[in-house]
């Protein structure tokens, strides 16, 4: 693997493997800071999962109408809490990108406080943008799922029709291959649609755009990002599930030795259901920073590909940032500033995007 020297700036865009590698190296360097940054929204999600696991079990176990109504309300509340936690994650993602750019540009310290100060400066706008992105993700999932169901239905009908005139193994092979193709196409459609709004929080906090401008800007940047966005998301998903399995297996064995069936959730005691609900968010606390860093680096890479952003960062390092005087120009400030203070002095050492 090639390395970046302190005096050389590579201009080649990053592939999916390079993005994952840079994200993991940044994560390793700032491990505990990034965990503290990602912890608050994930803790909110964990609280929602705990309430959900308790309420959903009681809904199907109680026979009293009043208790049923109470647990149904708790179930709805848990969904609202989890949705709020996921929205908060999108909000924090924009602040994490700003902190990363400030670190690359001025060698600012990577701290949880810097991220949340950036989030607080544009919180309500970020919240509205995150709601739009969240609804867009749900709509993308519905569209991809409907397309997947239609493709699976066609392959199943074709296999059933072929079964009457062909050997048994041929329809089975066609059904399996068709299911794989349908799943791959559904994933591609999902990430193609979601990728249009992948950079909205980042644009708001790095470039200082409003909500509508950020949406338009994200659409313009998201060209050809499907494979890299899919690779980053799938890597983080598999890593999170692997960490979750490492945590689930000891809990499952402990429950089994104490007479608990790990596969029968209806008979779980309360402590086991709560512990089971906490393990998933706990693994997310460990791996969510990788996903946040990956999307931040993907946003920077899109600007490198389409706008020569690496050259802009290098110029800002050597010459100082251009003053923000509300002039539309290709040479805008490398990092938007809420205040109108003079830009900081240029940095004389280091290299842009040097993540060694």
Tens-place pLDDT, residues 111-149:
888 889 888 888 888 889 888 988 999 999 999 999 898
Rg, Å, the chain Cα set? 24
Of the listed ranges 43-57, 235-249, 267-281, 320-334, the one predicted with least confidence: 320-334
CA 80 to chain centre: 19
Nearest to 43 by CA among 75, 89, 95: 89
pLDDT at 4: 40
For residue 347, being part of any structural domain is answered with no
Q: Is residue 340 part of a domain?
A: no
Domain assignment present for 335: no
Helix 270-307 crosses helix 65-106 at what angle (to 10 degrees)?
Answer: 40
Determine the Cα–Cα distance for residues 299 and 290; give it in Å rounded to an integer: 14
pLDDT classification of 318: cutoffs 50, 70, 90:
low
Asked whether the beta carbons of 28 and 51 are under 8 A apart, the reply is no
Gap between the Cα atoms of 57 and 68, Å rounded: 11
pTM for this prediction: 0.73
**Alpha-carbon distance 221 to 298, whole Å?**
10
1 occurs within a structural domain: no
Of 90-104, 130-144, 202-216, 342-356, the range with the highest mean pLDDT is: 130-144
Q: d(Cα 259, Cα 303) in Å, to the nearest integer? A: 56
Segments forming the whole domain that contains residue 99:
16-319
Where does the pLDDT of residue 352 fall: very low under 50, low under 70, confident under 90, or very high at 90 and above? Answer: very low
Residue, of 330 and 151, whose pLDDT is higher = 151
Confidence of residue 265 (pLDDT cuts 50, 70, 90): low
Q: Is residue 52 a part of any domain in this protein?
A: yes
Comparing 315 with 184, the larger pLDDT belongs to: 184
SS3 108: coil
- Residue 319's CB is within 10 A of a number of other CB atoms, namely 10
Cβ atoms 335, 207 nearer than 8 A: no
DSSP string, 64-84: -HHHHHHHHHHHHHHHHHHHH
pLDDT band at 347 (very low <50, low <70, confident <90, very high): very low
117 located within any domain: yes
Put residue 350 in one of left, alpha, beta given phi > 0 → left and psi -120 to 50 → alpha: left
Higher pLDDT, 3 or 192: 192
Other Cβ atoms less than 10 A from the Cβ of 261: the count is 12
Q: What integer best gives the mean pLDDT of the chain?
A: 77
User: pLDDT tens digits, residue range 26-49?
Assistant: 888 888 888 888 888 888 888 888
Instruction: Summarize the confidence of residues 1-9 as an average pLDDT.
Output: 38
Q: What confidence score (pLDDT) does residue 136 get?
A: 92
The structural domain count of the chain equals 1
Residue 342, domain member (yes or no): no
Assigned domain for 336 exists: no
């Amino acid at each position: 693997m090639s390395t970046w020297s302190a005096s050389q700036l590579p201009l080649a865009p990053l592939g999916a493997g390079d993005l994952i590698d840079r994200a993991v190296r940044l994560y390793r360097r700032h491990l505990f800071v990034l965990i503290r940054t990602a912890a608050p929204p994930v803790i909110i999600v964990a609280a929602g999962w705990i309430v959900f696991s308790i309420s959903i079990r009681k809904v199907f176990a109680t026979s009293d109408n009043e208790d049923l109504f109470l647990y149904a309300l708790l179930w709805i509340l848990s969904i609202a809490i989890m949705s709020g936690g996921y929205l908060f994650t999108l909000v924090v993602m924009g602040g994490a990108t700003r902190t990363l750019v400030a670190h690359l540009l001025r060698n600012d310290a990577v701290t949880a406080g810097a991220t949340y100060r950036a989030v607080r400066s544009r919180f309500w706008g970020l919240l509205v943008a995150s709601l739009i992105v969240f609804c867009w993700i749900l709509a993308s999932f519905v569209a991809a799922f409907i397309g997947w169901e239609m493709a699976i239905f066609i392959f199943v009908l074709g296999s059933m029709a072929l079964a009457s005139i062909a050997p048994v193994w041929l329809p089975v092979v066609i059904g399996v291959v068709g299911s794989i193709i349908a799943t791959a196409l559904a994933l591609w459609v999902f990430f193609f649609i979601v990728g249009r709004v992948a950079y909205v929080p980042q644009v708001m906090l790095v470039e200082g755009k409003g909500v509508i401008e950020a949406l338009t800007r994200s659409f313009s940047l998201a060209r050809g990002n499907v494979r890299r966005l899919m690779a980053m998301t799938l890597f983080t998903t598999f890593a999170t599930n692997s960490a979750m399995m490492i945590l689930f297996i000891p809990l499952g064995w402990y429950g089994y030795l104490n007479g608990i069936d790990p596969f029968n959730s209806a008979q779980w005691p309360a402590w086991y259901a709560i512990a089971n609900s906490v393990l998933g968010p706990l693994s997310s606390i460990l791996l969510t920073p990788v996903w946040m860093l990956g999307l931040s680096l993907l946003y920077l890479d899109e600007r490198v590909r389409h706008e020569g952003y690496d050259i802009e960062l290098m110029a800002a390092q050597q010459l100082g940032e251009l003053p923000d005087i509300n002039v539309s120009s290709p040479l805008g400030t490398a990092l938007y500033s809420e205040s109108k203070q003079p830009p900081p002095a240029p940095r004389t050492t280091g290299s842009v995007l040097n993540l060694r």
